Amino acid sequence: MIHRRAAFGLAGLPWLGAWAPDRPVRILVGFAAGGGTDIVARLMAEPMRASLGQPVLIETRAGSSGQIAALAAARAAPDGTTLLLATAGEIVNAPLLSPGRLPYDPARELSPITNAVRVPNVLVVGAGVPASNATELLALARAQPGVLTYGSSGVGNLAHLNGELINRLAGVQLTHVPYRGAAAAIADVVAGRVTMMFSGLPVLMPLVREGRLKVIGVTSATRLRALPDVPALAETPALAGYELENWFGLFGPAGLTAPMTEAIHAAAVGALRDAEVARRMAEQGVEPDPGTPAQFSAFLAREARKLGEIIRSANITLEG
């Protein structure tokens, strides 16, 4: 008789599991090739192939901030061969910002399988800003209400909400400046036209190394392994409890059977726990964070409550 824990560890192997795909599995990605979701999906693909016994192909369906891929996954047959690696934006933010107006309903039409990775943002300021930590930055903000600005790639995204959470916790007035993409926002922070911004680690680090940007803190509750000397914003007394980070999670269409979910979950978790995969993900500023489907569902509910509170308190609308 196989020990229960050993059986769980082998559940993804097709010769042991109650279900295995009979053709290649697709992971849909809603953002351009070479971006964070694409990189994470490709790192997961080979270990998942070994577990599922079928090729795992990455299919880009970029556009509409990830919503094209989410819609395709929601409309796919629930046969276990179409999956979605999605972000907080198309799963949580979009339904909150456009209630009843999306062409898909994540809560009803997608099956959560596991969170894949946490994707903390980094808060940076231009080299000329006279602040080197969050306490000094908040002092500047209090001395000049509404003058300090922060850029983001659009209204209602995580980078926007990161700034609004600072306003809410610290009682300051940082002014949001939305752009059509992160590149333009970064350029204006470097040039001194905008005070600060939140973004992912890989895109900012070359500019930090060149001394053109200064890192103030990270948006996760604890420090990153990739930046052990950079404090979490939550370490600043005025920002106690601060935690707001992106994440990438694995979903299937609604209606997956329990054996399908179990096999896909085992394959995905095995990939995320692979030491080499974790090392390469850390280089991208992301940290594996797998869990059970029930844990992922509970996490999604907590995220919806937290982000909904920020959006309502800041009166954020897509028109604004």
- For 8, 9, 10, 15, the CA distances from 3, given in Å and listed in that order, are 9, 10, 11, 17
Amino acid in the structure at residue 222: T
Q: Which residue has the higher pLDDT, 163 or 11?
A: 163
Does residue 147 belong to any structural domain of this protein?
Answer: yes
Domain count across the chain: 2
- Crossing angle of helices 36-52/275-283, nearest 10°? 170
End-of-domain residue from the set 185, 215, 239? 239
The mean per-residue pLDDT over the stretch 8-17 comes to: 42
Go through the chain and tell me how many residues it has: 320
Do residues 228 and 268 both lie within one domain?
no
Q: pLDDT tens digit string along 136-178?
A: 999 999 999 999 999 998 899 999 999 999 999 999 999 999 9
Does residue 319 belong to any structural domain of this protein?
Answer: no
Do residues 188 and 84 both lie within one domain?
no
Do residues 67 and 39 both lie within one domain?
yes
Give the β-pairing of 175-178 and 149-152.
parallel
* Whether the Cβ atoms of residue 260 and residue 19 lie closer than 8 Å to each other: yes
The mean per-residue pLDDT over the stretch 228-252 comes to: 97
Q: Which residues does residue 247 pair with via DSSP β-bridges, in sequence order?
A: 118
Residue 157 sits in which domain range? 122-239
At residue 90, the pLDDT reads: 96
At residue 7, the pLDDT reads: 36
Does residue 213 belong to any structural domain of this protein?
Answer: yes
Q: How confident is the model at residue 12 (pLDDT cuts 50, 70, 90)?
A: very low
Do residues 186 and 167 both lie within one domain?
yes
Distance CA 86, CA 296 (A): 13
Residue among 49, 53, 46, 45 at smallest CA distance from 16: 53
Do residues 270 and 295 both lie within one domain?
yes
Do residues 184 and 76 both lie within one domain?
no
Q: What is the CATH number of the domain that holds 110?
A: 3.40.190.150
Average predicted confidence (pLDDT) for the chain: 92
Q: pLDDT tens digit string along 64-74?
A: 989 999 999 99
Q: How confident is the model at residue 225 (pLDDT cuts 50, 70, 90)?
A: confident
At residue 15, the pLDDT reads: 40
Does residue 318 belong to any structural domain of this protein?
Answer: no
Q: How confident is the model at residue 270 (pLDDT cuts 50, 70, 90)?
A: very high
| Sheet of strand 175-178, all strands in order from the earlier edge strand to the far edge | 175-178, 149-152, 196-199, 122-126, 213-218
Do residues 54 and 76 both lie within one domain?
yes
The mean per-residue pLDDT over the stretch 269-290 comes to: 93
Distance CA 68, CA 61 (A): 6
Do residues 200 and 283 both lie within one domain?
no
* Whether the Cβ atoms of residue 164 and residue 315 lie closer than 8 Å to each other: no
* Whether the Cβ atoms of residue 242 and residue 169 lie closer than 8 Å to each other: yes
Do residues 112 and 138 both lie within one domain?
no
Residue among 99, 109, 36 at smallest CA distance from 66: 36
* Whether the Cβ atoms of residue 118 and residue 247 lie closer than 8 Å to each other: yes
Rg (CA), the chain: 20
Distance CA 260, CA 92 (A): 24
End-of-domain residue from the set 221, 239, 257? 239
Q: Which residues contact 3 (CB under 8 A, 6 or more apart)?
A: none
At residue 17, the pLDDT reads: 52
Residue percentage of the chain with pLDDT more than 70: 94
Does residue 176 belong to any structural domain of this protein?
Answer: yes
End-of-domain residue from the set 239, 271, 291? 239
Q: pLDDT tens digit string along 209-224?
A: 999 999 999 999 999 8
Do residues 82 and 184 both lie within one domain?
no
Q: What is the CATH number of the domain that holds 231?
A: 3.40.190.10
* Whether the Cβ atoms of residue 248 and residue 87 lie closer than 8 Å to each other: yes
At residue 182, the pLDDT reads: 86
1 pLDDT higher than 70 = no
At residue 320, the pLDDT reads: 40
Longest Cα–Cα distance of the chain, Å, equals 69
At residue 153, the pLDDT reads: 87
